[in-house]
Amino acid sequence: MPGLEAQIQEIAGLLTKARTAFALTGAGISTESGIPDFRSPGKGLWVSTQLMDVLTSEVLQNEPERFYKAAMPLLAEFAAAEPNPAHRALAELERLGHIYGIITQNIDGLHQRAGSQRVWEVHGHLRTGSCVCCGRKQPFARLQKSYEEGEIPPRCPACGHMLRPDVVMFNEPLARDFFDVHDLLYGGCDLMLVVGSSLTVYPAAGLVTLARDLVIINLQPTPYDEQARVVIREKAGEVLPKIVAAVRDMSP
């Protein structure tokens, strides 16, 4: 088993040689920003709550008050978080031309806030919400304000129907970004750098099969570890800045 320094050098070499590399990120990249993930042992969100049962399109439609009371405190926490060194390192890899862009399962918007330009948000985002009837969009902050003022669920100012966050709930189809990036990956992906994902949520996890080479940085084992060229089980916020430094050292 090679040491961490050798693994970092190998990843930097793969990034430098790849013609088209993408990062695929999950909830684990944002835990160092204080947002809990879903599946880390002992502290993932599923452990303390029954969120999976509530964050569904059925509960949103049929029991909107229950949905909002469970979801809004959590979503407000996501929206208030700040990017960490892992988000900033991926933004730097894009700026240096070593990754083309980031496919994220996260809804927290931290990649863009760290400076990443090309981000595909396959599970939606927290910048806006939409009316379930007329489709008009509102800033997410407006949904938050209405909720805090006791309007549960928040209502569309135009037609009075319920507003919903522009986030993909369980049992809903993925966001348009998923299909766009799926087509792009078919066009060629030499390398996928997976960061902070258990790779168990489909169809997003299946995107890794479209890459020629795979690198995984994740604290826990994933079902794709055996297929990866390099697997590092360390914190993303500690490893990714070292990869950026190694890539810089290799550049002419």
Q: List residues with catalytic annotation.
A: 123
Residue 117 C-beta-side C-alpha neighbours within 13 Å? 8
Write down the least CB distance from residue 128 to ligand NAD, Å: 15
Which residues, 208 to 227, sit near ligand NAD by CB under 6 A? Answer: 217-220
Structure tokens at 85: 């060194």
Binding map of ligand NAD across residues 174-213, x = CB under 6 A, - = no contact: ----------------------xxx-xx------------
Beta bridge partner(s), residue 215? 193, 230
Contact between 170 and ligand NAD by CB under 6 A: the answer reads: no
For residue 38, state whether it binds ligand NAD (rule: CB under 6 A).
yes
CB of 147 to ligand NAD, least distance (A): 19
Residue 32, CA distances (Å) to 88, 93, 239 in order:
12, 19, 12
Distance CA 120, CA 104 (A): 6
> What binding mask, one character per residue, do residues 51-80 give for ligand NAD by CB under 6 A, x or -?
---------------------------x--
Which one, 31 or 156, has the nearer CB to ligand NAD? 31
> Where do contacts with ligand NAD occur on this chain (CB under 6 A)?
26-28, 30-32, 35, 37-40, 44, 78, 105-108, 123, 196-198, 200-201, 217-220, 235-237
